[in-house]
Structure formats: C-alpha cells, structure tokens
C-alpha cells in the first residue's frame, strides 16, 4: 500500500457510516401514520441498503487505493512528509482496519438477510399480527381498568383493615388490661401460697421431728414388746417343760412305788436306794437343758437347714441304705434324724436326756435312751455306714473323745464315714464368749488337733469342713490393706466346723 491518507479516510468513512446508521435509525423510529409492517419493512430495507452501498464503496476505495496526488506546494510537501512519517508509524493498523471492514461487511450482509426474511414474514403474517396487536391493546386496556378497580378495592380493603385493626387494638387493650389484672391476682395468690408453703414447711419440719420422736418411741416399744414376747415364749416353754417334768416325775414316782410295792413287806436294800437316787440325780436337769437348747441352739427348722450340707456327702458314699445305716450319737431333739427320714435314709439315734428321747419317740423317730459311748461299744463290728455327732464331743472328757473315735472305727464298715461337728474356737467371739453359754461344755477343741487324732486313730481322708460364718452385713469393709480381712477371719469367720474321716 502506498504512503497516502488511506488509513485516515477509512477511519473517517467508518465514523460517517456509523453516524448515518444512527441518524437513519432515529428517523425510522420517528415515522408516524404508517402501519407496523410498513415502518419495519421500509426502515430495514433503506437502512441496510444504504449501509451496504457505503461499505461496498469503502471496500473498493481501499482495494483501489488513493489516486496520485497533484503537484504540491512547499507547505503541502512538508505536510505530506509529516503524513508519510505518521503513516509509517501507523502502518501496523492497516491490517486491523481491513479485518474490521471485512467483519462489518459480513455482519451487515447477515443482518440484511435476517431482516429480509423478517420482512417477508411480516408481509405474510402482517394482518394477523396487526389483529393480535389490537387484541393485545384491548386486553391491556381491560387489564388497566381491572387494575384500577383492584387498586380501588385495595384502598377500600386497607381502610377496612385499618378500621378492624383499630377495633382489634381496642379489644386487645381491654384483654391486656384484664390479663394484667389477672396477673396481679395471680401474683397475690402466689405470695399467699408462698406464705402458706413456708408455714407448711415449718409444720412439716415439726411433724418430721415429732415423727422421729414417735419412731424412736415405737422402736423402744417394739424392742420392749419383743422382749416381752421372748419372755412369754420362755415362760410358755418353761410351762411346757414343767408339765413334761411333772409327767416324768410322776412316771418315776410310779416306778419307784411299783418297785417298792413289789418288795414289800421286805425292806429296800441300800444299793437299790442309792441306784434310784443316782438315777434321779443324773436326770433331774433334763427338762431344763431341753429348754436351754430350744432358746440358744435355734429352731429345729434352722438346724435342719444347716445340717443339709452333709446330704451330698452321704449320697456320695452310699450312706443311708439298709446295708449302710447311720447312727447319730447325742441326737438331742432329733433334727438330723428327721432330715434323714424326710430323704428316705435309714438312721437311728441315742441320747441320755429323758425329755429329748420322749420328744423324738413321740415324733416317730428311732431313738434309744442311753449313754453314747457304752451304746456304741455294745454294737457289733462293721455294722454301720456312718457315725455322726453334733455338738457332743465338747461335752466329753478327751479320753472319752478318743474312745469314741476308736469305737466308731470298729463299728463302721469299710468306706463308712465319721462326722464330728463342734464349735470353732478359731473364731474369737466363739472361743471367748458363745462357747461358754452352755455350762455343760468342758473345753473347746481346735480343728487341727481334732483332725490329727482322727487320722492318728486310723481314719483316712480326714479333712475339716468350716461352717456357719457370720453374714456379710456385720463384716468389716475391705480397707485395701488386708487388715479388715484378717479381722473378719478372726471375729466373723466360721462359728462351727466338722472333722470328717473315712474308714479305709
């Protein structure tokens, strides 16, 4: 491209084209008295045609170039020199301008095609569109009227709402005032309730103190009644024992008189009189000791529940069958024999107390009156399956205890067992106190000593079974140092024990 004013003319022409587009667009927008279809068609056709003509001229001018300038004067030559230098400086814009022109031309042609198609569509659908426009205008007019009516109704509703709000506010104020009065009444009632509650709390404390006092008195009265009940029970028991004793004395007196009658008219010998006196001496406290057992040993049911611990041992060794009968020495009130009878086991007992023997026999138990050691000595060898004694060896001299162990070994069959139950002196409360509640006890027997002599006299598998520990409620709580456990062992450990041996 030559050094000329082509770039400047292009810019100027582009600016002029844009102004003409704006001007003609404004003129097209101000057309009056024509229909929508005519205005759109004329405006689109004229505007696009003019634009395309001017763009085509601009394109041809750019392609053709500017004609050779005429002969210039000095001032023109200086201006041309400046222009050439400026053109050289702006030479890089030429390609961009060409591209802009090409794009503008392409866009104009596309818009013209679109507008031509639109124009054809308007020519084809113009009357229908016009009719629709008119209907739309009419609908808009109706909607405007309806809107005015709605605005009027809204104003009326707002006025009515304001009136209702005013009325509601009046009612609300009245209700609020009523609620405030009720709240004041409730506050007054609450204050009265608080005052009454305070008085009730005071009365409650007074009643609690009174109740505690009454409970204390009730506990005292209950303890007193329990003492009276225990005393009445003792009195009833002593009454029963007295009657029993009188019956026995009457029986003995009858026997004495019968014996004396047989010997009349001869005189009684001194030996006979002494024998009768000794018999009376040996049994004069039988009734008292029976009453003592009832009070201090415990009820029959309690003793039976304790002795049930031996039943599995008897079952294990087959004790209680006709071939392996059991003998209970010093059977007392017969709790053990009754328990064995309830389980269908064969057993018999022996005791020296007339009152207890009579009680057992009246209950249907096989009990013989006699001394334990002589009765045991009279039995044939290897005739029993078990020999048991409960709280009897502590009443015997130790020589008799050893003799009882020896005779038991003799009368037992192979595999028979010996059970010796006695108080446990390792428990300090037993060894220092409860053992001596029975005045007929001689001395306590420590379990290691008694176990040793049972084994030493020929029994095997001798072992100690500890029984009747104190309940957990009376034991010292664990202190984590072992001291409480040792104290519990000494003071609240087993109260009884049994040495159990088996004949080989």
pLDDT digits (tens, 9 = 90+) for 395-454: 999 999 999 999 999 999 999 999 999 999 999 999 888 888 888 889 999 999 999 999
Per-residue pLDDT of 191-249, as tens digits, reads: 888 888 888 888 888 888 888 888 877 887 888 778 777 777 777 666 666 666 666 66
Q: Could you give the CA distance from residue 159 to residue 164 in angstroms, rounded to a whole number?
A: 9
Query: What pLDDT, on the 0 to 100 scale, is given for residue 7?
Result: 40
Per-residue pLDDT of 273-282, as tens digits, reads: 555 555 555 5
In total, the chain counts a number of residues equal to 504
Query: What pLDDT, on the 0 to 100 scale, is given for residue 237?
Result: 66
Q: Is 329 helix (H, G, I), strand (E, B) or coil?
A: strand
Q: Is 86 helix (H, G, I), strand (E, B) or coil?
A: helix
Q: Could you give the CA distance from residue 252 to residue 48 in angstroms, rounded to a whole number?
A: 161
Per-residue pLDDT of 13-58, as tens digits, reads: 455 545 554 554 454 444 444 444 445 445 555 555 666 666 666 5
Q: What is the mean pLDDT of the chain?
A: 77
Above 60 in pLDDT, residue 71? no
Higher pLDDT, 372 or 3: 372
Higher pLDDT, 495 or 209: 495
Above 90 in pLDDT, residue 121? no
Strands 347-351, 367-369: pairing is: parallel
For the chain, percent of residues with pLDDT exceeding 70: 64
pLDDT average, residue stretch 70-85: 66
Question: Which of 16-30, 39-53, 59-73, 116-130 is the most confident on average?
Answer: 116-130
For the chain, percent of residues with pLDDT exceeding 90: 30
Query: What pLDDT, on the 0 to 100 scale, is given for residue 452?
Result: 96
Instruction: Kindly tell me the burial class for residue 106, based on how many C-beta atoms sit within 10 Å of its own C-beta (0-12, 13-18, 19 or more).
Output: exposed
Q: What are phi and psi of 466, to 5 degrees?
A: -85, 140
pLDDT average, residue stretch 87-116: 66
For CA atoms 42, 43, 45, 47, give the dihedral sign. positive
Sheet holding 384-390, edge to edge: 367-369, 347-351, 326-329, 384-390, 412-423, 496-502, 460-467
Global pTM reads: 0.48
Q: Is 320 helix (H, G, I), strand (E, B) or coil?
A: coil
- Residue-by-residue DSSP string for 224-258: HHHHHHHHHHHHHHHHHHHHHHHHHHHHHHHHHHH
Above 80 in pLDDT, residue 386? yes
Above 90 in pLDDT, residue 461? yes
Domain boundaries, the chain: 6-157, 297-502
Pick the CATH number of 297-502 from 3.40.30.10, 3.40.190.150, 3.40.50.150, 3.40.50.300: 3.40.50.150
Beta-bridge partner residues of 389: 329, 420
Query: What pLDDT, on the 0 to 100 scale, is given for residue 300?
Result: 80
pLDDT average, residue stretch 336-354: 93
Q: Could you give the CA distance from residue 94 to residue 246 in angstroms, rounded to a whole number?
A: 157
pLDDT average, residue stretch 248-276: 59
Least confident of 4-13, 146-155, 224-233: 4-13
Above 70 in pLDDT, residue 503? yes
Higher pLDDT, 447 or 174: 447
């Amino acid at each position: 491209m030559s050094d000329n004013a082509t770039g400047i003319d292009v810019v100027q022409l582009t600016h002029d084209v844009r102004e003409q587009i704006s001007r003609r667009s404004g003129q097209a927008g101000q057309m009056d008295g024509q229909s929508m279809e005519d205005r759109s068609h004329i405006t689109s056709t004229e505007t696009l045609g003019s634009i395309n003509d001017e763009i085509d001229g601009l394109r041809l001018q750019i392609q053709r170039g500017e004609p050779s300038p005429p002969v210039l004067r000095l001032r023109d030559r200086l201006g041309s020199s400046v222009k050439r230098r400026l053109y050289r400086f702006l030479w890089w814009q030429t390609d961009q301008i060409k591209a802009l022109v090409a794009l503008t031309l392409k866009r104009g042609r596309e818009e013209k095609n679109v507008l031509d198609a639109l124009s054809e569509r308007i020519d084809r659908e113009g009357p229908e569109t016009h009719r629709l426009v008119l209907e739309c205008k009419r609908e808009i007019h109706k909607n405007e009227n309806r809107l005015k009516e709605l605005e009027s109704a809204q104003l009326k509703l707002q006025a009515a709402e304001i009136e209702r709000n005013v009325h509601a506010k009046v009612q609300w104020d009245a209700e609020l005032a009523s609620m405030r009065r009720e709240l004041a009444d409730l506050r007054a009632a609450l204050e009265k309730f608080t005052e009454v509650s305070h008085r009730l709390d005071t009365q409650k404390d007074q009643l609690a103190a009174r109740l505690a006092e009454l409970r204390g008195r009730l506990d005292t009265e209950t303890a007193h009644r329990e003492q009276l009940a225990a005393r009445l029970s003792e009195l009833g028991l002593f009454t029963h024992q007295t009657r029993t004793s009188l019956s026995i004395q009457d029986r003995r007196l009858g026997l004495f008189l019968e014996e004396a009658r047989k010997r009349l008219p001869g005189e009684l010998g001194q030996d006979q009189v002494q024998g009768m006196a000794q018999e009376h001496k040996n049994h004069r406290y039988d009734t008292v000791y029976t009453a003592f057992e009832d009070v201090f040993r415990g009820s029959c049911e309690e003793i039976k529940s304790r002795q049930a611990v031996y039943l599995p041992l008897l079952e294990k060794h087959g004790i209680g069958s006709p071939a392996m009968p059991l003998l209970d020495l010093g059977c007392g009130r017969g709790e053990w024999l009754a328990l064995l009878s309830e389980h269908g086991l064969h057993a018999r007992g022996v005791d020296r107390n007339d009152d207890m023997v009579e009680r057992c026999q009246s209950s249907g138990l096989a009990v013989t009156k006699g001394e334990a050691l002589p009765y045991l000595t009279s039995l044939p060898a290897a005739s029993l399956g078990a020999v048991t004694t409960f709280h009897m060896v502590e009443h015997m001299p130790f020589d008799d205890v050893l003799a009882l162990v020896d005779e038991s070994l003799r009368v037992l069959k192979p595999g028979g067992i010996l059970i010796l139950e006695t108080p446990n002196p390792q428990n300090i409360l037993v060894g220092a106190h409860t053992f001596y509640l029975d005045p007929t006890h001689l001395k306590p027997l420590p379990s290691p000593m008694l176990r040793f002599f049972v084994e030493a006299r020929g029994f095997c598998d001798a072992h100690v079974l500890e029984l009747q520990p104190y309940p957990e409620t009376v034991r010292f709580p664990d202190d984590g140092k072992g001291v409480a456990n040792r104290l519990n062992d000494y003071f609240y450990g087993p109260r009884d024990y049994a040495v159990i041996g088996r004949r080989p």
